[in-house]
Structure 1
Amino acid sequence: MRLLAPFKPSLASPLTLAWLAAVWIGVLGNWPLWQRMIALPELDNARGHVFVLVFIGIVIALQGALLSLLAWRRLIKPVLVLMLIATAALAHFIGSYGTVIDPTMVVNIVQTDVREARDLLSLRLALSLLLIALPPIVWLWRRPLADAPFGRRLGFNLLGFLGGILLMVALGLSCFADLAATMRNYKSLRYMISPVNAFYSLGAVAARAGAQPKGPPEVIGADARLAPRPAGAKPPLLLLVVGETARAANFSLDGYERPTNAELAKLPVLSFKNVTSCGTSTAASLPCMFSPLGREQYGEQKKPQQNLLDVLQRAGLAVLWLDNQSGCKGVCERVPNSMTTQLPAGAKPLPAGLCDGEECLDEALLHGLDERLAALDPARTTQGVVLVLHQMGSHGPAYYKRSPAARKPFQPECTSNALQQCPREQVVNAYDNTIAYTDHVLAGAVRWLQGQQQRFDASLFYVSDHGESLGENNLYLHGVPYAFAPREQTHVPLILWMSEGAAAGDVVGKGPQAQCMAQRLDQPYSHDHLFHTVLGMAGVQTSVYRPAMDMIAPCRAR
């Protein structure tokens, strides 16, 4: 009869559960890390395989040591559930897209809106949660826990922590040469140790935010003013288009073999071919590219500063930020701003098919621009206007959503947000369709500017915030830490168009200034030049303007 009695699991120690979870997380939950390490050429030998096994032990020891501190009867189960779910989700994203979880990526995650997050959901994510998180969660939740006096439990937990640390040190010393060389040559591996990577990065972001002084941002360009215009000259109208996830490698204007820029190729535009981004994500690049500090200094600033838009507005120009993305990351907080779905008075409704209720195609940015221009402060408009259009662009992984059905010249395209499940050529087709659609939108922007030339000296300045990986080296999307990011994620397109008046009497593509600029298309530029080039194009004089960083200044002087 005892054989028929219901099974009653024995009481388990919280510390035992902590170490069992550490083994599960270390071995199974970190499979993308082990896959990446085994693929390294330096480790493709017997000694390398032994090192990988030792490193697995180091990761288990680290996880076990940290979980030992949390091995309390009422705490351990909720903690382990959180850890297992986080590990399973991270395993999916790291394994599927080759991304790493550093502080910058955590900022991206925090700032992701609902529609962006929805694009990242997939059956593979559900499968990862089902296989990695669900079995141990069900097992441990049904496991009764043994109780112990506080002092005794504290002693056991400290022994578990110290034991884990000693084991980690011993294993590290046993293969120190291989460990040091691997961590030095492949620094991204440290951000693949899940879920420690995510919690460490989250803590780093919180600490950085807490360390910043409170209060308004530091004023820059307090002396900003507009340079006197010659008699009869028109005020400037600059359309500054911030691209999203567009990499220069797929622009035919920059040498790509496919005709992704068929419309712009018919216009007198200048395409700068050697431009690097300030970061590899929108959260990093967008504030940086509008700052006068440049990439090297931006991450070291002690106090938040105002940005380019503040200086333009202070000089007396009318400024408007129009967004078709998830926001301006704080750049447009102090200037007029709007979403594409927020139409001005008098504007016609958005055409059918341009928006689906959750997001709009980028042509929505051009809809109602006349009414938006008319709604700006008239006193400022007479001095000049800067309109910033923030695209949805080529935002992944659902590239197929970023271009309308009538503008998909490259077929067949990947229609899944699980890019690794599509043949690579279909992923590239879907991405190239987004570039071809951006080409169409930019050509439409130029046509709109041409219609404004009776009132303004019009210009278009387009640059993407960062690039994208499309499967090279098994990497997808973007966000790799800048120090070891591939060129596909940092090499971005930059396109310039100027009307006759804006080019100071020289039609771009025909006169001396155009010839001067054409000779500089292969020069190395970066997002660091944006701040000063836009100030020069808008005719703003200020002490923070550096002519040496103005891309057009050498040719404007001629």
Structure 2
Amino acid sequence: MSVLKRLLAWFRPDTSRPLSQAWLAAAWMGLLANWPLWQQLNTLPGVGVGFTLAFAGMVTAATGAVLSLLAWPRLIKGVLVVLLLASGALAYFIGSYGIVFDPTMVVNMVQTDVRETRDLLSWRLFASLALLGALPAWWLLRRPAAPAQALPRRLGGNLAGFALGLVAMVLLALSVFATLSSTMRNYKSIRYMVTPLNAVYSVSIVGVRSLSGPKGPPVVIGADARLLPRPDGSKPPLLLFVVGETARGMNFSLNGYARPTNPELTKLQGPSLVSLRQVTSCGTATAASLPCMFAPQGRAGFDADKPQENLLDVLQRAGLAVLWLDNQSGCKGLCDRVPHSPTAKLPDGAAPLPAGLCSKDELGEEECFDEALLHELDKRIAALDPERLKRGLVLVMHQMGSHGPAYFKRSPPDLKPFQPECKSNTLQQCQREQVVNAYDNTLVTTDRLLTRAIGWLQARSARFDTGMLYVSDHGESLGENGLYLHGMPYAMAPKEQTHVPMILWVPEGGATAASLKPGCLGSLRDQPASHDNLFHTVMGWVGARADVYKPEWDLLAGCRR
């Protein structure tokens, strides 16, 4: 009879006990909150129902094993409430956008501002949070307090629960080992879809990195930075470096895209303007790409866990004026040691931003179209060190660009040539053609910004030797293979997230153009390039040199006379 009671206890556990709560939550999260994972497995070739059931058992067992170690009366409920709510949110984002939750995504989440968070909110998210997270959490919090139990006995029970989960996971893995090994080898993103273990792992990795990382100021690079001598009477350089956001190189008509997403830049295309068609990014998210773009080592050698100075520090040390203007969620620390300003913060004496250029949402957060970056630029520049300006200026503009999922918010009413467009931040609820329309409208908006920026530069050619470099930080998935947005681990990211546009404008008649071989700029059009080239190309462009400068990575080095 006692054996029968024990068996029945497994099916009718005492829900006041922490270990029972841990395993019930493990089953809930493992089986229900992982519905995007089961859906994904169902689409893979060679993966049958038997494997999916075994994998579901493995996920549940692994989750139960981990939670068993945390099954203490004063701890378990708080842990489970957090994990349940996190599982509800992850189920929505993974299921809706096809993203994965890896350490890079944790960094993106930490660095997301209120505007970006607002664009991700939807009633479907709240429904997922309520059904998969809040509902079981409410039930859990209503469980009575656990009965008193001696510490050795409770510890023994927790260890037994851990061992049981571990054994069950191993046995299930062995039963489908052949399919499991090939699936995990061929579809590496699956491991980052296992909720909530993906969150526990990724948050832990980021936490360990932040605690173990070096303290103090960033490592100095380019300590010997200097400017090359220029002929007497020559004009100082003015390089406008536009950092795009979420732009796909394959969607630029300058690169052969069938739709006219670059109507104004196309008119300027010629000896002075070239669009590079084969450019790859450092990362698939701003938090990863931006620091790498401004580093000299390139993607293979860059270590985000070792803070160091960047291109802006080296240019400033060489004696140039540097200014960062931001219409995004910040510069990720790159501009901390140089003059910088958000778009909406105007210099003293500046005229107000024109009506319609900026607006406030229902939360009071202000967002401006990228054209606001050009407003009162002369006053911003006048506030810089005049001695540095005599040597030259590198002006960085960080766009809002094509930031999703609310693409429709990134283009003004008069720049929406592609209709109908998706007017929702829940992209999977729109027809894909509407999503692409809304996205392509943002590229037309970027086209106008760059064209007007070139016009602004031309108007200052009497004082400066002007030029422009534009490149996006990463690309974007627009529903290909069920993926939306960006942020996939680089090794498994589709080309839509790593193929980015890059445009160089070197006006004829300037010193920079005169230093280049005739026609050489156009030869760069089909030359493979990447973010690795940016640091060295900018250094070479403005005549700055340091020990970290690599001429072989300077896109213009081979074109110089």
**What is the match of residue 7 of structure 2?**
none
Q: Is the 8 A contact 2:369 2:410 kept in 1?
A: yes
**What is the match of residue 139 of structure 1?**
139
Mapped to 2, the partners of 1:250 and 1:397 lie a distance apart of 17
Deviation at 1:206, TM superposition (A): 1.3
Alignment deviations for residues 53-109 of structure 1 (CA, whole Å, 9 cap, x no partner): 100000000010011111122222222111110000000000000000000000000
Match of 2:447 among 436, 439, 444: 439
**What is the match of residue 296 of structure 2?**
292
| 1:548 equivalenced with 2:552 (yes/no) | yes
Change over 3 Å in CA distance of 1:158–1:272 after alignment to 2:
same
Mapped to 1, the partners of 2:173 and 2:14 lie a distance apart of 35
Q: Is the 8 A contact 1:313 1:319 kept in 2?
A: yes
Write out aligned runs for 1:358-369 (5 A): 358-369=366-377
Deviation at 1:137, TM superposition (A): 2.0
**What is the match of residue 186 of structure 1?**
187
Aligned residue identity for 1:178? T
**What is the match of residue 54 of structure 1?**
54
Q: Percent identity?
A: 65
**What is the match of residue 17 of structure 2?**
13
Mapped to 2, the partners of 1:316 and 1:433 lie a distance apart of 39
Mapped to 1, the partners of 2:31 and 2:198 lie a distance apart of 16
Aligned residue identity for 1:54? A
**What is the match of residue 306 of structure 1?**
309
Deviation at 1:208, TM superposition (A): 1.2
**What is the match of residue 326 of structure 2?**
323
Deviation at 1:198, TM superposition (A): 1.1
**What is the match of residue 212 of structure 1?**
213
Q: Secondary structure at the match of 1:42?
A: coil
Size of the alignment, in residue pairs?
540
Alignment deviations for residues 190-225 of structure 1 (CA, whole Å, 9 cap, x no partner): 000111111211111111122221111111111111
**What is the match of residue 343 of structure 2?**
340
Q: Is the 8 A contact 1:99 1:476 kept in 2?
A: yes
Match of 2:508 among 489, 500, 507: 500
Q: Is the 8 A contact 1:347 1:371 kept in 2?
A: yes
Deviation at 1:138, TM superposition (A): 2.7
| 1:395 equivalenced with 2:403 (yes/no) | yes
**What is the match of residue 34 of structure 2?**
30
Mapped to 2, the partners of 1:203 and 1:173 lie a distance apart of 28
Write out aligned runs for 1:69-218 (5 A): 69-147=69-147, 148-218=149-219
Mapped to 1, the partners of 2:31 and 2:349 lie a distance apart of 61
Mapped to 1, the partners of 2:202 and 2:158 lie a distance apart of 25
Deviation at 1:499, TM superposition (A): 2.2
Alignment deviations for residues 145-174 of structure 1 (CA, whole Å, 9 cap, x no partner): 431222211111110011111111111111
**What is the match of residue 5 of structure 1?**
none
Mapped to 2, the partners of 1:454 and 1:74 lie a distance apart of 72
Write out aligned runs for 1:461-472 (5 A): 461-472=469-480
Mapped to 1, the partners of 2:136 and 2:192 lie a distance apart of 24
Alignment deviations for residues 280-308 of structure 1 (CA, whole Å, 9 cap, x no partner): 00000000000001101113x66321110
Mapped to 2, the partners of 1:488 and 1:359 lie a distance apart of 26
Alignment deviations for residues 330-381 of structure 1 (CA, whole Å, 9 cap, x no partner): 1111111100111112221100111113211100100011111111110000
- Which stretches of structure 1, 4 residues or more, deviate above 4 A after TM superposition? none
Deviation at 1:182, TM superposition (A): 0.8
Mapped to 1, the partners of 2:183 and 2:173 lie a distance apart of 12
Q: Is the 8 A contact 1:288 1:295 kept in 2?
A: yes
**What is the match of residue 268 of structure 2?**
267
Aligned residue identity for 2:237? P
| 1:454 equivalenced with 2:462 (yes/no) | yes
Deviation at 1:139, TM superposition (A): 2.3
Alignment deviations for residues 215-270 of structure 1 (CA, whole Å, 9 cap, x no partner): 11111111111111123211000000000000111100000000000000111421
Alignment deviations for residues 366-424 of structure 1 (CA, whole Å, 9 cap, x no partner): 00111111111100000000000000000000001101111111111111000001111
Q: Is the 8 A contact 2:15 2:21 kept in 1?
A: no
Unaligned runs of 5+ in 2: 1-12, 361-365
**What is the match of residue 254 of structure 2?**
253
Match of 1:476 among 480, 484, 502: 484
More moved, 126-135 vs 375-384:
126-135
Match of 1:515 among 514, 519, 537: 519
Change over 3 Å in CA distance of 1:496–1:514 after alignment to 2:
farther
**What is the match of residue 40 of structure 1?**
44
Mapped to 2, the partners of 1:466 and 1:308 lie a distance apart of 19
Mapped to 1, the partners of 2:510 and 2:293 lie a distance apart of 23
More moved, 144-153 vs 425-434:
144-153
Q: Is the 8 A contact 2:101 2:202 kept in 1?
A: yes
Change over 3 Å in CA distance of 1:150–1:457 after alignment to 2:
same
Change over 3 Å in CA distance of 1:505–1:110 after alignment to 2:
closer
